[in-house]
């Protein structure tokens, strides 16, 4: 049975306060929220998502001024990044306060913190009065939701309520950054570009390709963000579909290639911000078309293209494993 859908942030805050699970809109993707100080509620997130307990949750706050509630210290560079980019698609890894239970951080001494930029989510955070732990509101390893309908079809039976805040404007998860002294390291590329981060942090490190068993951000497994349909990537001209096969095309700009059963183009002009906002939605649509395969164009390796390539690479990796 599916859960109710509402547009009332007060109702969502009430369910969170009582220890329930609510899908919440943010500017990046929909999150599956619970009271971050309540270990039983947080355990419910892992159960609903079938998420392994080694994969920590991001904790959301209504404003940067409240960071001291969940983080025991904030390095100078992290403070400058927060000042410039919060509210927004940036998660900072910071030493945690004891009020955040171990289940939220998977036993780590650090916590991922973010101030989201969405009016309804902000309202829920204010009304609930507690920090809210929220991973993306999809079953573990599957496509992230950018609309309330995605959450309803993926998780409607497993949660208490969905707060419908429309389509997510950024469309790809937050950029996760760890700060060591005056060095910023990107653990997960996301909705805030490396170029933007550099304006504050100077040179930015990108965490080396993590080993599958010891990634720096524990959620960065090679197989992730996957539609049920196999995904392959291409650069240049899309490959010609095999005769009789139902292939779907996903490309940055409109291209004409006969023989595809379905096609989705992410931006008329090739704009990467527009493409990110449409990316997961287009994959959800193609995934519903009973295709044999999704053929997806690699993005330019700049701006949000890096985050999109990261998601594509992981979607394609899942399929290699599934077919093996
Ligand atoms: O945009 C977003 O970040 C969305 C919205 C809902 O805020 N949330 C999101 O959460 O993408 P999730 O669970 O799908 O990804 C969170 C990832 C974890 O998989 C892990 O890699 C990283 O954040 N993370 C969380 N806490 C961490 C920590 N203490 N140290 C290192 N990585 C951490
Ligand atoms: Mg996720």
Q: What is the pLDDT of residues 241-266, one digit of tens each?
A: 999 999 999 999 999 989 999 999 99
Give per-residue pLDDT as tens, 36-83: 999 999 999 999 999 988 899 999 999 999 999 999 999 999 999 999
Closest CA to 295 of 318, 315, 275: 315
Q: How confident is the model at residue 215 (pLDDT cuts 50, 70, 90)?
A: low
- Is the pLDDT assigned to residue 143 strictly greater than 70? yes
Which position has the token pair 């100078």?
A: 76
Q: How confident is the model at residue 1 (pLDDT cuts 50, 70, 90)?
A: confident
- Is the pLDDT assigned to residue 211 strictly greater than 80? no
80: which 2 tokens? 């400058």
State the average pLDDT over residues 14-19.
98
Q: How confident is the model at residue 208 (pLDDT cuts 50, 70, 90)?
A: low
Distance from C-alpha of 112 to C-alpha of 135, rounded to nearest angstrom: 11
Mutate to test the pocket of ligand 1, among 21, 139, 192, 219 (most ligand atoms within 8 A of CB): 219
Mutate to test the pocket of ligand 1, among 32, 146, 176 (most ligand atoms within 8 A of CB): 176
Nearest 5°: phi and psi at 161?
Answer: -165, 150
pLDDT for the residue 38: 97
Compute, in angstroms, the gap from residue 251 CA to the centroid of ligand 2: 23
State if pTM tops 0.75.
yes
With a CB cutoff of 8 Å and minimum separation 6, the contacts of 296 are 231, 232, 233, 234, 249, 250, 251, 312, 315, 316
Compute, in angstroms, the gap from residue 58 CA to the centroid of ligand 2: 10
Q: Closest ligand 1 atom to the C-alpha of 33?
A: 6
pLDDT for the residue 212: 52
């Amino acid at each position: 049975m599916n859960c109710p859908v509402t547009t009332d942030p007060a109702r969502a805050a009430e369910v969170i306060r009582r220890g329930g699970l609510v899908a919440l809109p943010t500017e990046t993707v929909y999150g599956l929220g619970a009271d971050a100080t309540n270990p039983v509620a947080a355990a419910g997130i892992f159960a609903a998502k079938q998420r392994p307990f080694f994969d920590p949750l991001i904790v959301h706050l209504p404003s940067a001024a409240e960071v001291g509630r969940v983080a025991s210290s904030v390095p100078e560079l992290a403070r400058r990044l927060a000042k410039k980019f919060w509210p927004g698609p940036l998660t900072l890894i910071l030493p945690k306060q004891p009020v955040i239970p171990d289940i939220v951080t998977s036993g780590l001494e650090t916590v991922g913190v973010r101030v989201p930029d969405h009016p309804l989510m902000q309202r829920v955070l204010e009304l609930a009065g507690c920090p809210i732990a929220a991973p993306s509101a999809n079953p573990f390893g599957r496509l992230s939701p950018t609309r309330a309908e995605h959450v309803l079809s993926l998780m409607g039976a497993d949660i208490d309520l969905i707060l419908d805040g429309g389509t997510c404007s950024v469309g790809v998860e937050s950029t996760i950054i760890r700060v060591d002294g005056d060095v910023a390291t990107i653990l997960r590329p996301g909705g805030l570009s490396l170029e933007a981060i550099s304006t504050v942090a100077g040179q930015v490190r990108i965490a080396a390709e993590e080993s599958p068993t010891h990634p720096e951000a524990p959620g960065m497994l090679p197989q992730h963000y996957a539609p049920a349909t196999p995904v392959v990537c291409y650069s240049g001209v899309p490959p010609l579909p095999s005769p009789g096969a139902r292939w779907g095309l996903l490309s940055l700009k409109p291209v004409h290639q006969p023989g595809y059963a379905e096609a989705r183009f992410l931006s008329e002009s090739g704009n990467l911000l527009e493409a990110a906002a449409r990316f997961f939605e287009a994959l959800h649509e193609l995934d519903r078309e009973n295709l044999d395969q999704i053929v997806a164009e690699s993005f330019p390796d700049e701006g949000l293209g890096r985050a999109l390539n990261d998601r594509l690479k992981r979607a394609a990796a899942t399929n290699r494993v599934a077919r093996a």
